Amino acid sequence: MKRTILTLVSLALILVFAGSLLAAEKGNSRKGKYTFRKGCRDCHVEGGKAQEMSPANKTQAQWDTVFAKDKYKEFPCKAEWDKLTPEDISDIYAYMYEHAFDSPSPAKCK
């Protein structure tokens, strides 16, 4: 009996741990939306310094390319990206990806 409980408890711990790892890797799309609005929308709006940017401007595959490792170093705005933590960047990635043009829930408007 004691062993069963022990096994169940360790299983539960493993699940929680694995779950948080996955979440960290995927990023938090709600936080990403916030971070994007705070740090990127200044320029990436209609009539701004850069082209308007919304998750629905690109497909999921295109966002994959944009957020591929260190790809942003080629963007004119890499200084803005450098201000962010890797976590912030993966949050923005999650936001873009989940609401991409070909996603199940594309972003409608701003």
Which of the stretches 6-14, 19-27, 38-46, 98-106 binds ligand HEC when contact is defined by CB under 6 A? Answer: 38-46
Per the document, the length of the chain is 110
Which of the stretches 12-20, 24-32, 43-51, 100-108 binds ligand HEC when contact is defined by CB under 6 A? Answer: 43-51
74 to 32, 48, 68, 70, 106: CA distances (angstroms):
21, 20, 11, 8, 26
The correct pick among 43, 45, 56, 107 for binding ligand HEC (CB under 6 A) is: 43
The distance of Cα 71 from the centroid of its chain, to the nearest Å, equals: 15
Site membership for ligand HEC, residue 49 (CB under 6 A): yes
* CA–CA dist 22, 12 (Å, integer): 15
What are the residues binding ligand HEC (CB under 6 A)? Answer: 39-40, 42-44, 49-51, 66, 75-77, 80-81, 84, 92
